[in-house]
Amino acid sequence: MTAQKTILRALAGETLPTPPIWMMRQAGRYLPEYKATRAQAGDFLSLCYNPELAAEVTFQPIRRYGFDAAILFADILLVPQALGADLWFVTGEGPRLSTITTQAEVDALKPVEAIHDTLNPIYETVRILSKGLPSETTLIGFAGAPWTVATYMIAGQGTPDQGPAHGLKAENRAVFDALMARITEATIEYLSAQINAGAEVIKIFDSWAGSLQGADFVDYSIKPMQQITEAIKERHPGIPVIAFPRGAGERYVGAHAAIGADCVALDDGVDATWAATHVQKDGCVQGNLKSSHMVTGGDALVSETRRIVDAFSGGPHIFNLGHGITPDADPENVQLMIDTVRGK
């Protein structure tokens, strides 16, 4: 069965006549069935930690659209919570965390091996999905990259420019490095446990990689993802890794080799034709339709989808958005995108 899964074939370097497709945040707030399940759970974190309901919202877009992959429904900030940070969500504003900005606060975090006490429900979600997904559907596990997770742990919330994390990095590099090391170790353990539970592919999301400049981009985006990838492949030979240094721009060039990833996910800030020449030559790429097309639809959606498919048709490609689908997206536009990719 596994050999027939199109996502795995693309990740292995095969150029397919029709690219496989899935969509970041495909289980989410744009779907009425998700909203109903979220209401049943009571709040976002309760949904993440309820294996039956988290599996249900992961299944929903597969039932509706027949995507080639399902991605585990969870959140990148569950790792900081498992390490001992307080985590809560403010309606309409997003996540809030207790901040980690001193060596004493880093030292007070739980040991890495203790994270499973909190994260066991997530692994149970993976087990449910592994048993329940259609045989042709690939199951993707994921985590946030250390830099992106650190930006939230240091600021206590999302920020426009990741300023607090850049500030700590400049003012107290030792504390910053210690926090990054702890997150990196915890992420390896978390992803390894997802694989043991049934995840077939791992994706590492570095959503704020683009704000790192100069050597910091290599030291704090590329190298931690490389360390995680190397550890995962040592423990789980044959498991493909997708890396997403969002906002990398021209620094996407060479990312496959630098990270050791089987696939590099591209945001919508780079042109597909350019990326085919400079990035896809090194391996599978994923992307990179603007998520705004899921809101506006129409001829522009169709033409841009076709352009991206054509641009990447000469090598291994997984069709996806350049960022997660937004809550204001029209579910009908998702179907239009899928039909366009599949030539219907």
| Tokens 């795995």 found at | 8
Residue 115 and residue 121 in contact, taking contact as beta carbons nearer than 8 Å = no
Distance (Å, whole) CA 198 – CA 194: 6
- Work out the widest C-alpha separation in the chain, in whole angstroms: 58
Residue 207 and residue 159 in contact, taking contact as beta carbons nearer than 8 Å = no
3-state secondary structure (DSSP) of residue 11 = helix
Q: What angle do CA 87, 157, 178 make, to 5 degrees?
A: 80
Residues annotated catalytic, as ranges:
25, 29, 38, 75, 152
- Distances, alpha carbon 320 to alpha carbons 188, 291, 323, in Å: 25, 9, 8
Q: Strand 69-71 vs strand 138-144: parallel, antiparallel, or unpaired?
A: parallel
For 261, list phi and psi in degrees, rounded to 5. -80, 150
| Tokens 């790192």 found at | 212
At 323, list the tokens: 């960022």
Alpha carbon 10 to its chain's center: 18
Amino acid at 282: D
342, HSE (Cβ side, Cα atoms, 13 Å)? 15
